[in-house]
Amino acid sequence: MPFLRIFRKYRFLCACFILLLPGCISQKDQKTSIPAIPMIDAHSQASKYLDLDNIIPLMDKAGVKRTLLSARRGLKWRKLAALARAHPDRITASVRSKGEHYRNNKPKYYRRLAKQIADPIFGAMAEIMIYHSEKRKGLAAEVDVDFSEPQPLAAIQAARKKGWPIILHIEFASLPGEESAQKEFMNNFENFLKSQENHPVALTHLGQLDADQAASLLAKHKNLYLITSHANTWFTRQSSQPWTEMVDGDELVPRWRKLVLAYPERFILAFDNVWQEHWGWFYINQARAWQKVFRSLPPEVAHAVAHKNAEKLWNLPPLGVR
The 10s digit of each residue's pLDDT in 57-88 is 999 999 999 999 999 888 999 999 999 999 99
- How crowded is residue 261: how many other Cβ atoms within 10 Å of its Cβ? 12
Question: What pLDDT is attached to residue 237?
Answer: 83
Question: What pLDDT is attached to residue 194?
Answer: 97
Pick out the chain residues at pLDDT < 70: 1-35, 135-141, 320-322
Residue boundaries of the structural domains of the chain: 39-314
Contact 276, 58 (CB under 8 A): no
Q: What is d(CA 140, CA 145) in angstroms, rounded to the nearest whole number? A: 15
Contact 290, 64 (CB under 8 A): no
The 10s digit of each residue's pLDDT in 14-38 is 434 433 433 443 333 344 454 479 9
Is CATH 3.20.20.140 what the domain over 39-314 is classified as, yes or no? yes
Contact 74, 50 (CB under 8 A): no
Burial class for 140, CB neighbours closer than 10 Å (0-12, 13-18, 19+): middle
Question: What pLDDT is attached to residue 1?
Answer: 45
Question: What pLDDT is attached to residue 294?
Answer: 97
